[in-house]
Structure 1
C-alpha cells in the first residue's frame, strides 16, 4: 500500500485493518444479457478471502487510482472481499457509455453472476457514493436474497432529474460532470480536470449554451446536449427515474447525505418512502457536507463496516437511532426517530419594510425592487456546488449581499435560540418587467460581528412573471440552531449563476438562447402579499 493509501485511511478514521496483505484478480469478465461483457476486479485478503461477505461497487470512473482505491482497500482489509466493476462503456467494459440508462439491467445481471461464482460465500452488500449509489437504487427492489444491505451515499433514485427541473435548471453540476466523464480516460485526467476548472467556468458563459461543451473541451458531448435539450418531465429521461421502485425495497438501507449536497432533497424523499412503508432496519445520516466532502466517504465506509458487515454476517448492527443529523450552529450530532423529526412546526417569518424580517404579519408598505441583468448575473457563492476549484458549503456572504441585485431581510437580535430542522420553503410575491424570471431565496445566519453565513437556498423559474404572483420556492432541507445574539436573514434575488442557469428573460430554449434582457424586479410584502420564508421551528425552547 502506498503512502497516499495510508493517508486516506487515516483520514477515514476506520477501525484497524484485519490484514494489509491483499491480492487483486483483475479484468474478470462479467457477461450481460445482451452479450456485452463488463470488466471487474476482485480484491481479497491473500489468505482466507473465499467465502467472505462480498461488497459490490459498480463505478463509471475506473477500477483503480485515486477514485476507486480509497473505497475498495479499506473494505477489503476489514472483512470483505470486494468486487469493483466498470459500468458499461467505461474503462474496458463493452458498449457505449450512455450515463445512467443501463444500470438496472446490468446491475441485476451482475448480481446474478456474482452469486454463482465459486468464491462467493452466502452474502453481499451494495455500497458507494453518487453514481455508485444510484446503481443501487436502480436494482434494490429486485435484488436476490443474498444481498443483505445497501449503503448509498449522496445519491437518490432519480439522480439526474434534480438537475433538469423546468422550474430551476442546475447548469454547473451536470455540465461539469459531462466534461469530466468525457475526458476521464485520457492520460493525466485528474490533473487536467483540476487545472481546467477556470476554463470550464468560462465556458458556462457561452451563448448559445449548446456550444459550451465545445468551448470547454473542443468537441460536443451527447450527454451535455441532452441535458440542455430535455427537461426532467420529458419521456427522454423516463428510464432514469426509479422513484416508483423505492416503496418495494425490503433490503436494509443506510443512506448518507450532506446538507450541501445537490441530491439531498431526493435522498430524503427516498428515505421517507422507506420509512412510510415501514421498512426496517433503515438509517439516515446527514452531515455538514457537500457532495465530495471527506466526511461523506468516511461515514459511508463506517456504515459499510458497522451496518453492512454485521448484516452480511447474520448479526445485528450496533444499536442507534434511525436518523442521525449534524445540527449546524450547535455543531453537534443529534439522534432522532424519523425524518422529518417530530416536534418541529412550520413558522412563517415575513418580509417587512426596511429590510426587516419577523413572525409578525406585514403592514402596508411599498414593494422593494432591484434590477437583474443576465449579462452580469447574480453569482453563486458557496452552498450546493460540486465543481473543481469552487468553494461549497458555508461561506461569508458579505460580498454577495453588497450587490444591488440582492435584497436582504433580517430579524432583530434573537433573545433565545431558534432551532430549525426539516423542510424549508419560501413564498415570495413577485413581479418582473419581463414574462420570464427567476426567484432565488437563501436563508442565512448573521453572527454578532455581522458576518452572514448561508444555510440553505433554492430557486424557482416563473412564466408570466410580469403579473404579480406568488413564487413558491422549495429550499434545501436543513438542521440549524440560530444562537441567542444572532439574527436570521433571508436573501431574495433572481439568480445564482452558474449553479443555476441564468434566466435570459426571453423565454428562448436554454440550449439555443442568445439574447439577454435585463429586468426590473419587485418583491411585495404587505397584507395582501405576505411574502415569507417558512421554517420548521422546534416547538419548545431548545435546552
Structure 2
C-alpha cells in the first residue's frame, strides 16, 4: 500500500485554451506509474465520482495515478457544455497531458459508466498513443440511435429526465434551475408536455442544444461525435459492462462487438446508479448478481497497463431466471433460432396462423410503461423487472401466451419481433415485451423495445437477453401502440390492428 498525494483543482489546458478542473490522486513518490483518466459531467468532487465510478483511493493505493476531471462547461471547468460534441478533442488533450506528467510512465487507461463511457469512446476513436485500455459501461455504441432515438423513436422519458434532473440544474447559463427540478419532480405531467415546460426549455441555451434529440437526424453534421464505423476501427483493449435492464443495453452489446479488443460482462442491472447491485426493479437476483465494478476495472487495467494477470473469457453473462453466471468464448455462443408466432385467441405458437386482431385506443389514457430498459424517473419510470399482469389486462394491449414449457428453456442473444402493421395507417409506434409467466400467473418482463411504424412491416429490437424459462412456465409476448412516459404520449384514439401469420413473428436464440 502506498502513501498518497492528492492534488485538487488543477486547471488542465485544452488545445483551444479552455481550462478544465482536474484532481489527481496518486502514490506519493516511488517513480512514475500508469494513469487512469475519468472524465465526468456529474461533478468530479462527489463520492460517486471518486468511489463508485472508479475506486480512486483503491487504484491509487495499488499504484495508479487517478485523474478525475469535470468535462467542459460542467461545475468548475471552463467553457460551455454541449452534450457529446467536445469530448473527443478534450479527451485526447487530457490523456496526452496525463501521459507526460512526471508521475506518469506514459501508459494511460480510462474508466467510468454512462456518459463517462461515451467520453472514453470519443477519445479512443482518435487513438492517442498513450491510451492502452478503456472500461466503458452502460453506454451506447453510437449515441444517435443508441441513446437519443433507438429504433427511430425518440427516447422521450430519458431525454427529458436527463435534461431536467441532471443537466439543467447545474448549468451556469440556466436562469431557473429550481424550475427545472420542479418539472423533473412531476414526470407524468412534464412528459405530456405543455407551455410551462416549453418556456423552461426555450430559456436555456443548453436545452436548445440538447433538443437535437427532437430532430429527425440528430448530430448528423457533428463530426466530433463518433459514428459506429469509427468505433469499429478502435483496437484498444476494452472491458465493456452491460446491464440487461439498462436503457442503452442493445447498443452496449453492439459496442462489445464493434470493439475488436473487447471482453463483455453483462448482468441484471439497470441505469439506476451504482453500485451494480443484486436487485433490479422488483426482483432480487441473488448475492452473486452484485458486481464489484472497481475490482473488475483494476484487474483489467492491471492486465493492459501493467502486463499482469491472464486473459479473461470473451463474454461473462448472468442468466436471469436461473440466477447463475456463464463464461462464453463469444456472445451469445452456440444458439439455435426459435420463431414463435402470435395467433388468434391470445396464443403463441411455433406455427403461423393467418388472422387479424385489433385494439381500441383511448386518446386520453395512454398505455403506460412498466419497468424494463428505462432511465429512472420515479415514480413513473423505474428500471428492471416488474409484474406486468395489470398492464397486460388493459384493453389497449394484446397478449399472446405459450403453453406451459415441458422442460426449462434458456433464451440467449438478440430478441426481435417483426409485426405486420396496418398498411393504411403507417404511423405511431409499436411496443413489445417478452415476459416469463410463472405457474403463479405473475408475468415478469425479460426484454422489451419500441419502434416507429413507417410502413406495412415494422421490426422491433427488444434487445439482448440471457434468461431461463423454467419448466411449467409460459412465454408471453405483449404488444401495444405506446408506452408512456418512456415514449411520447400519442393522443390518438380509434383502432389499431395487426395481421397475424408468417409476417408477424418473435425470434429468439436458444442455448
Give TM-score scaled by structure 2 length: 0.88
Asked whether the equivalents of residues 429 and 450 of structure 2 are also in contact (C-alpha less than 8 Å), the reply is yes
- The offset of 1:122, in angstroms, is 3.7
| Structure 1 segment 50-199 matched on structure 2, within 5 A | 51-70=32-51, 71=54, 72-162=56-146, 163-165=148-150, 167-179=152-164, 180-184=166-170, 197-199=184-186
Structure richer in strand, relative to its length: 2
Aligned to 1:287: 267
Counterpart-to-counterpart distance in 2, 1:479 and 1:407: 24
Structure-to-structure mapping, 1:246-285, within 5 angstroms: 246-275=231-260, 279=261, 282-285=262-265
Does structure 2 conserve the Cα–Cα contact (< 8 Å) formed by 1:55 and 1:81? yes
- Deviation digits for residues 306-348 of structure 1, max 9, x if unmatched? 1112321222x3443110011111111101111232x212211
424-433 or 489-498: which moved more? 424-433
Task: Summarize the alignment of residues 23-38 of structure 1 with structure 2, pairs less than 5 Å apart.
Answer: 23-38=5-20
Residue 16 of structure 2 aligns to a residue whose secondary structure is coil
Q: Does 1:332 align with 2:314?
A: no
1:507 is aligned to: none
1:73-123 Cα deviation digits (max 9, x unpaired): 343333322110111111221211111101111111112211121121242
Q: Is the 8 A contact 2:151 2:460 kept in 1?
A: no
Equivalent residue for 1:308? Answer: 301
Matched, 1:231 2:219: no
CA-to-partner distance for each residue in 1:361-407, whole Å, 9 max, x for gaps? 22x44x22111234321111000112242421111101111110011
Task: Say if 1:160 and 1:361 are closer, same or farther in 2 by CA, change over 3 A.
Answer: closer
> Which consecutive unaligned segments of at least 5 residues does structure 1 have?
1-17, 505-515, 539-543
Alpha carbons 2:187, 2:377 under 8 Å: kept: no
Q: CA separation in 1, counterparts of 2:218 and 2:199?
A: 26
Question: Cα distance 1:216–1:463, how it changes in 2: closer, same or farther (>3 A)?
Answer: same
Cα separation, 2, equivalents of 1:260 and 1:400 = 18
Q: Distance in 1 between matches of 2:67 and 2:425?
A: 55
- The runs of 5 or more residues in structure 2 that have no matched partner are 278-290
Query: How big is each residue's C-alpha offset from its partner over 1:209-257, in whole Å with a ceiling of 9 and x where there is no partner?
Result: xx635468986722343322x2346624554233222232222111101
Give 1:271 deviation, angstroms. 1.6
Give the whole-Å Cα distance in 2 for the aligned partners of 1:190 and 1:384.
Answer: 28
Q: Deviations over 1:426-462 (max 9, x none)?
A: 1112217744221111100000100000011111111
Residue aligned with 1:421, SS: strand
- Stretch moving more, 189-198 or 137-146: 189-198
In 1, distance between residues paired with 2:194 and 2:179?
A: 24
Of 340, 350, 363 in structure 2, the residue corresponding to residue 359 of structure 1 is 350
Contact 1:50–1:119 (CA under 8 A) maintained in structure 2: yes
Distance of aligned partners of 1:50 and 1:496 in 2 relative to their CA distance in 1, 3 Å threshold: farther
C-alpha distance in structure 1 between counterparts of 2:219 and 2:177, whole Å: 33
Question: Contact 2:191–2:485 at 8 Å: present in 1 too?
Answer: yes
C-alpha RMSD of the superposition: 2.7
